[in-house]
Amino acid sequence: MEGAASGRCRMGMAIAAAVCLMPLLQLWGCVAVEANAGPYHFVKRHLDEVDRMRYKDPTQPLNTRIDDLLGRMTLAEKIGQMSQIERENATADVVSKYLVGSVLSGGGSVPAKNAPPEAWVEMVNGMQRAAMSTRLGIPVIYGIDAVHGHGNVYKATIFPHNVGLGCTREPELARRIGAAVALEVRATGIPYVFAPCVAVCRDPRWGRCYESFSEDPEVVRDMTAIISGFQGEIPDATDAGRPYVAPGHRNVAACSKHYVGDGGTTKGVNEGNTVASFHDLMAVHMPPYYNAVIRGVSTVMVSFSSWNGVKMHANHFLVTDHLKNRLRFRGFIISDWQGLDRITTPDHADYLLSIKLGILAGIDMVMIPYTYTEFIDDLTLLVRNGTIPMSRIDDAVRRILRVKFTMGLFDHPYADASLAGELGKQEHRDLAREAVRKSLVLLKNGKPGAGPMLPLPKNGAVLVAGSHADDLGSQCGGWTITWQGLTGNNLTAGTTILDGVRRAVAPGTDVVYSENPDAAFLQQNRARFGYAIVVVGEPPYAETFGDNLNLTIPAPGPDVIRNVCGAIKCVVVLVSGRPLVVEPFVDVIDALVAAWLPGTEGQGVSDVLFGDYGFTGKLSRTWFRSVDQLPMNVGDAHCEDALFPFGFGIETQPATY
């Protein structure tokens, strides 16, 4: 009797457990019940199945989880993991139907204009819920460009572009910036950034040169410290090649780009051809990737460009043989935006061929913002007919899963809404302001026979002129709110250089702003102003739209310099993504400052102009006299004729008032 009672008790407990477990078992796809199975056997069988689903168990070793999940996946689920689609297409139905593995925001792709962090979190979590409802519940990884801060997002902190950060020569500053950007990105629920760009820009005519820390590979190598800011410091450097993201919600997976040689194309043509020996490619363009792999970078993005006529997206030797096998990189390799399409000329002319070449070259995740159904169908066909072996698909998916497991997506798939206050917070703006003042390079300080002009006095009437003095969009540059960037002061939150000047001067000081003062105004007021600050430069641009073969200061900048500096003692602040032709104006200018693209914290410029801090920045690029000298890089024989050599920068001490 006692045994029978005990058996009835166990049966009752089993039935209760079955009822309680039913929703969970449905989620895991384990609801098939044999016709004659009793409740006890039903529960036991499914508990055994749960026990075997090791990929869901965070206590299991990483490779055990990966092997377990990979072994359960169908071809459709694997190809879904290799697909990254644009946010605007990533509805819940699309994510679940096509088993999408990743979603991205292109430049300017946002849930709504001026969307707050909460709207981003809601959007990302909605996509994640769709992914988690699929048979295996594999989370999506959402990626976004964050090349100088969380640039797509309203009121985010925008840091100086990399060309300026390279002038600081401070890897630790880069690391702190990476950590701050990671927090702002996480504030919007996003765990993955397409940054940093570790290109070694060898020709400033390239429209992406401002995304490069330097023309010198050693400087770029040092500044890969930003990866440790994004991801966290890798605990075991001996395990180089394995992706690493620190536990928790304060770091993001990083992406070193654009592999490899994108900064060495002929005449700086974007997506062009880099003509170089293997030795030169390894010596100039590859070193930053060595450091990135050592730092545990999670992903690497392939370049649109070619090496000696071979598209990087189709280069098996460099992508698989070198990066994956020789350097033992174990994260995943991602294409650039529609990168496979551009293997052929014209784009997308033979998509089956493009997919074949790209996947066999070693690309693991493909950025297919719009044509994802065609990609999925064509890749499925290529696998089923034996053109692409299943081993190549498994390698790609294994790498993607490794990154997702490593960054904790399986165990904590949803965004942490409590981080919303990290976006644009004062500590980050203070850090950006510090980066601005350390990135500025003083190229001239006083005319021959005269004393230094800087630092400027904080009293007396001041004339501020030039198109870039009161233009937040222009001082941020491309990749800010939109892909190409915008001019004007209504795009996001920040401080213009003019704002900074007004805050820096003594109370009661007369600051007059005239964007383009005419000769009559200058003649009438030349005795009124003690000095003038002229701020001119380039308009915002990105990628091919920034390719420029003449590199002159855009109009009316040259006339403003000549007119103002010809009448009043002046300092010219140049806002640009690269060195520009300035030799024709150097003699008329009293002081010249390269401010690069400083971002939202324009007060960092006035901090140094007025001597609250000294100038410390050193050129990360050789400053040419004429574009006819290009390319011109440190170590070249003709660098002796540079206007300002690599590493040049006049240092000053803080003022004592």
What is the structure's pLDDT at 49? 59
Average pLDDT of the residues in 8-23: 40
User: What is the distance between the alpha carbons of residues 525 and 575, in angstroms, rounded to a whole number?
Assistant: 26
Residue pLDDT, tens place only, 503-534: 999 999 999 999 999 999 999 999 999 999 99
The answer to whether 242 touches 294, Cβ cutoff 8 Å, is no
Structure tokens of 117?
Answer: 């962090």
Average pLDDT of the residues in 408-416: 97
Band (pLDDT 50/70/90 cuts) for residue 51 is low
DSSP per-residue string spanning 526-591: TTT-SEEEEEEEPPP--GGGG--SS-BPPTTHHHHHHHHHHHS-EEEEEE-SS--B-HHHHTT-SE
pTM: predicted TM-score of the whole model, two decimal places:
0.93
Residue pLDDT, tens place only, 116-127: 999 999 999 999
DSSP per-residue string spanning 441-456: EEEEES-TTS---PSP
DSSP per-residue string spanning 273-308: EE---HHHIIIIISHHHHHHHHTT-SEEEEPSSEET
**Does residue 485 surpass a pLDDT of 90?**
yes
Residue pLDDT, tens place only, 206-221: 999 999 999 999 999 9
What is the structure's pLDDT at 331? 98
SS3 call for 58: coil
**Does residue 650 surpass a pLDDT of 60?**
yes
Band (pLDDT 50/70/90 cuts) for residue 52 is confident
Residue pLDDT, tens place only, 145-172: 999 999 999 999 999 999 999 999 999 9
**Does residue 295 surpass a pLDDT of 60?**
yes
Average pLDDT of the residues in 232-242: 85
User: What is the distance between the alpha carbons of residues 50 and 21, in angstroms, rounded to a whole number?
Assistant: 11
Which residue, 134, 12, 124, is CA-closest to 73?
134
What is the structure's pLDDT at 41? 58
Structure tokens of 106?
Answer: 């292109």
What is the structure's pLDDT at 513? 98
Q: Hey, where are the domains in the chain?
A: 79-422, 440-641
User: What is the distance between the alpha carbons of residues 49 and 368, in angstroms, rounded to a whole number?
Assistant: 36
The answer to whether 169 touches 125, Cβ cutoff 8 Å, is no
Residue pLDDT, tens place only, 190-204: 999 999 999 999 999
Examine the residue annotation and report whether 543 is marked as an active-site residue of this protein: yes
Which residue, 89, 215, 211, 100, is CA-closest to 151?
211
Average pLDDT of the residues in 649-656: 95
Average pLDDT, the chain: 93
User: What is the distance between the alpha carbons of residues 444 and 587, in angstroms, rounded to a whole number?
Assistant: 10
Residue pLDDT, tens place only, 546-603: 999 999 999 999 999 999 999 999 999 999 999 999 999 999 999 999 999 999 999 9
**Does residue 38 surpass a pLDDT of 70?**
no
**Does residue 461 surpass a pLDDT of 70?**
yes
**Does residue 275 surpass a pLDDT of 90?**
yes
Domain 440-641 falls in which CATH fold? Rossmann fold (3.40.50)
User: What is the distance between the alpha carbons of residues 1 and 233, in angstroms, rounded to a whole number?
Assistant: 64
User: What is the distance between the alpha carbons of residues 304 and 312, in angstroms, rounded to a whole number?
Assistant: 7
Average pLDDT of the residues in 486-494: 97
The answer to whether 189 touches 121, Cβ cutoff 8 Å, is yes
Average pLDDT of the residues in 108-113: 97
What is the structure's pLDDT at 503? 98
How many CB atoms neighbour CB 24 within 10 A?
11
What is the structure's pLDDT at 16? 41
Residue pLDDT, tens place only, 63-78: 999 999 999 999 999 9
Torsion 475-478-482-487 (CA) sign = positive
User: What is the distance between the alpha carbons of residues 227 and 514, in angstroms, rounded to a whole number?
Assistant: 42
Percentage of the chain with pLDDT > 90? 91
Query: How many helices (DSSP H) and strands (DSSP E) are in the chain?
Result: 23, 17
What is the structure's pLDDT at 429? 98
Low-confidence winner among 177-181, 235-239, 318-322, 348-352 (lowest mean pLDDT): 235-239
**Does residue 13 surpass a pLDDT of 50?**
no
Low-confidence winner among 18-27, 384-393, 585-594 (lowest mean pLDDT): 18-27
Percentage of the chain with pLDDT > 70? 92
Average pLDDT of the residues in 282-293: 98
Q: Which residue has 């919007």 as its token pair?
A: 188
Q: What is the DSSP letter of 320?
A: I
What is the structure's pLDDT at 39? 57
DSSP per-residue string spanning 328-342: ---SEEE--TTTTGG
CA neighbours closer than 13 Å in the CB half-sphere of residue 50: 14
Q: Is 393 exposed, middle or buried (0-12, 13-18, 19+ CB in 10 A)?
A: buried
**Does residue 33 surpass a pLDDT of 70?**
no
Secondary-structure class of domain 79-422 per CATH: alpha beta
Q: Is 545 exposed, middle or buried (0-12, 13-18, 19+ CB in 10 A)?
A: middle
Examine the residue annotation and report whether 640 is marked as an active-site residue of this protein: no
What is the structure's pLDDT at 4? 40
**Does residue 10 surpass a pLDDT of 60?**
no
User: What is the distance between the alpha carbons of residues 449 and 132, in angstroms, rounded to a whole number?
Assistant: 72
- Extract the runs of DSSP E, i.e. beta strands, from 109-209: 141-144, 192-193
What is the structure's pLDDT at 6? 42
What is the structure's pLDDT at 239? 77
SS3 call for 596: strand
Of 262, 470, 471, 543, catalytic? 543
Of 336, 434, 471, 538, catalytic? 336
Q: Which residue has 């540059």 as its token pair?
A: 477
Which residue, 163, 238, 237, 240, is CA-closest to 207?
163
What is the structure's pLDDT at 224? 98
The answer to whether 599 touches 159, Cβ cutoff 8 Å, is yes
H/E segment holding residue 154? none
Band (pLDDT 50/70/90 cuts) for residue 30 is very low
* Bridge partners for 531 per DSSP: 462
Average pLDDT of the residues in 441-451: 96
Torsion angle, alpha carbons of 299, 304, 306, 307, to 10: -20
Average pLDDT of the residues in 484-499: 97
- Extract the runs of DSSP E, i.e. beta strands, from 48-205: 83-86, 102-105, 141-144, 192-193
